[in-house]
Structure 1
Amino acid sequence: MPAAPSWWTTRGPASWPYLPLSWLFQLLAGLRRAVWRSGWRRAAPLGVPVIVVGNIAAGGSGKTPVVLWLVDALRQQGWNPAIISRGYGGKAQIPTPVTALSTGEQVGDEPVLLARRSAVPVWVGRDRPAVARALLAVRPQIDILVSDDGLQHYPLARDVEIVVIDEQVLGNGWHLPAGPLREPLRRAREAQLVILHGPCSAALRARLGAVPTAAMQLQPADFYRLDDPGQRRSADSFKGLMLKAVAGIGRPQRFFDTLQALGLDVQDSRAFPDHYRYHAADLALNGADALLMTEKDAIKCRGLAPTETWVLPVDANIDAVALDYILEHLNGPETA
């Protein structure tokens, strides 16, 4: 995915030429949604509950940490979850299992990260219902599915929709390609839960209406060495060093801001497009003592990056009420 266009941030002259396409996109998206809502087409049930974690805007809203949080919470509640995904950026078209040894080129960056972090089955493929059926056929013990993205993939039956919103990602509030929106903000009101990543204005809360919401922050852990994840270092141990940082994610600045919040003085920060395929030259230390990167970037950089490359994992810190809302829809209000 290329970097977010500059005109997505404002409703200035740079975005105006894209408005006709934006209106067409909005019309087609609305018609497609109406077809499924009206019952003209129906998604076939899969035999187990399905939770879709998605967003209404292009760009890094924070879905992957939410998926990791969710499958861990479900396991603690006695469920046996698995994850399905389109595998954006990967070559897999048919239902394909993902392992810790899979590559981003094969199955997409996020699914590899999910497989390494979640300890639950992860499968990808173009047709998510087909992926779900293939997974369930070989893993009959799975009793709930979590779809990483797929909010707009209406052929996939779902029991719970979770929309992750980062207000900064909403940009100018216009639809693609004049702005970042895939669907209008009112679409989030139809979800069972909205997770708000970062600060949220009173105006946004008002526009969300009565849909339940929960706040989320990303909590960084200790760094680990790229070529030896067993080695760990605290952020404090990097203070006073010459540091380089790279980020090829939806919002690279978020990673750089996190490093700054940890008290690190990064002299060389380099942002790349989301899902960027790195070259060794991109990762050269160039005089720095260490290279810092995200877990998503680390999927693609093993074997390319220098020895002193350290990865910063993050976990979603989500209001406890979020799980209550989810369990209420899965089990009924008496068990939430």
Structure 2
Amino acid sequence: MKAPRYWFDGSRPPLHARALARIYGAASRLRLKFVRPRKVSKPVLVIGNLIAGGSGKTPLTIAVVARLQAAGWTPGVASRGYGRDDAGTPRWVEPVTDPKLAGDEPVLVAARTGARVRVDADRVAAAKALIAAGCDIVVCDDGLQHYRLRRDVEIEVIDGVRRYGNGLLIPAGPMRELATRSADVDFRVLNTGSATDVAAEFGEWPMRLETGQALPLVGGRALPLSRFAGQRVHAVAGIGDPERFFATLRSHGIAVVPHAFADHHRYTAEDLRFGSDLPVLMTEKDAVKCMRFAGERHYSVPVSGELPEAFWIALLDRLTKLR
């Protein structure tokens, strides 16, 4: 679903959206009264955001898992697996798992980290399965609003451009919870998209997305993005904010022919037929869903979340005390 313009452009939401937002807020408050958090035997670290749509959770999840592995932990990742078929069936996720069965983001996390990944609508059950499989810490991808699983550390990811939009609850605005919820989290990470230290002044840790080489989906070798500078390419993005990806390519001198799809879009071969024989560059999350019908002109452009070393020191210190 594409976000309504009034979420972020300052215009007034329609009356019906504001009425539904009040109902949504009341239902959320009522639900919280009946939730009884369940504790598991190992630490739980939750990564999420307060708005609907993407904000950079997956790059941060991958970065956190990699840093935990380097520090001697054995992390496992629990996810609902948004948009997958047969959502009621728990499943172990491998890099070769069909995204239709596991969700695009869990497959990407499994491929990038090599960690155990479990998708389950019941996060408590997913956490217990990961612990039984030998994991000594559970990382929940997109789990801030899943209160049944008791968490030890919470990290909120904030989009550095859109932030909280108009600050209103769904569907009048992008908020899953009110912005006051941010005061309760342990770490706030601002996805700036580029290097900056401004966020730290406001209690937010800046995260920049470092772009890697373009990886061919079929054969061939990795190419630096500079190889595409000065030429036109088809750019494909089915993420929360496609324009962020297009802007990244333009910053490398690439002439972008943009093709924006809805977040978590399920691709078919027809979606990638653009009528011209140009290279096609897409995000990693899109690439895992296009492998079956990709051609030699199709490339994935990976990104890595880079944060100040002080952030990692603070996070690992907090987790070491839990250990």
Q: Mark yes or no: TM-score above 0.5.
A: yes
Partner of 1:240: 230
Counterpart for residue 332 of structure 1: 321
- Cα 1:232–1:205 shift into 2, 3 Å: closer
Alignment partners' CA distance in 1, 2:244 and 2:116 = 29
Q: Which of the numbers 225, 243, 253 marks the counterpart of 1:253?
A: 243
> For residue 25 of structure 1, what is the amino acid of its counterpart?
Y
- How much has 1:11 moved relative to structure 2? 4.5
What CA distance in whole angstroms lies between the structure 1 residues aligned with 2:317 and 2:27?
A: 33
Q: CA deviation at 1:44?
A: 2.2
Please, what TM-score do these two structures have when normalized by structure 1?
0.89
For 1:262, the equivalent position in structure 2 comes to 252
> Which one of the candidate residues 121, 145, 148 is aligned to 1:152?
145
Tell me the C-alpha RMSD between the 2 structures: 2.3
Which residue of the partner structure matches residue 221 of structure 1?
212
Structure 2 counterpart SS, 1:147 = strand
Q: Secondary structure at the match of 2:16?
A: helix
Alignment partner of 1:71: what SS?
helix
2:171 maps to which of 177, 180, 197: 177
Q: CA deviation at 1:49?
A: 0.2
Greater than 6 Å deviation, 4+ residue runs? none
User: 1:223, CA displacement in angstroms?
Assistant: 0.5
Partner of 2:29: 30
Segments of 5+ residues of structure 1 without an aligned counterpart are none
* Number of residue-to-residue matches in the alignment: 319
The Cα of 1:85 is off from its aligned counterpart by 0.3
Q: Which amino acid aligns with 2:57?
A: K
Structure 1 match to 2:159:
166
Aligned partner of residue 171 in structure 2, secondary structure: coil
Deviations 1:251-277 (A, max 9, x none): 1000000000111112x2110101111
Partner secondary structure for residue 162 of structure 1: strand
**Identity level (%):** 39
What whole-Å deviation, never above 9, does each CA across 1:279-336 have from its counterpart, x for those lacking one?
2222124223211100000011112233211110000011222222322322239x9x
Displacement after TM superposition at 1:249 (Å): 0.7
- The one-letter code matched in structure 2 to 1:5 is P
Match of 1:303, SS?
helix
Q: Is the 8 A contact 1:52 1:148 kept in 2?
A: yes
Q: Distance in 2 between matches of 1:169 and 1:300?
A: 28
CA distances 1:114-153 after superposition (whole Å, capped 9, x unpaired)? 010011101101101011112322x13x110100011110
Match of 1:126 in 2: 121
Structure 2: which amino acid aligns with 1:110? E
Q: Which residue of 2 aligns with 1:89?
A: 83
> For residues 319 and 47 of structure 1, what CA distance do their matches in structure 2 show?
30
Checking the alignment, whether the CA contact within 8 Å between 2:48 and 2:144 is kept in structure 1 is yes
For residue 221 of structure 2, give the secondary structure of its aligned residue in structure 1: strand
1:60·1:169 contact (CA, 8 Å) conserved in 2? no
Q: How big is each residue's C-alpha offset from its partner over 1:99-119, in whole Å with a ceiling of 9 and x where there is no partner?
A: 011111101010000010011
Which residue is 1:196 aligned to? Answer: 190
SS of the residue 1:216 aligns to: strand
Distance in 2, matches of 1:49 and 1:135, equals 12
Give CA deviations for 1:164-188 in whole Å, capped at 9, x if unaligned. 0114152211110001000111111
SS at match of 2:59: helix
**Using the alignment, how far apart are the partners of 1:49 and 1:297 within structure 2?**
31
8 A contact 1:86–1:128 mirrored in 2 = yes
Counterpart contact for 1:98–1:122, Cα < 8 Å: yes
Say which is worse superposed, 276-285 or 124-133, in terms of deviation. Answer: 276-285
- 2:14 is the counterpart of 1:15: yes
Q: Is the CA contact (8 Å cut-off) linking 2:193 and 2:208 kept in structure 1?
A: no
AA aligned to 2:205 is A
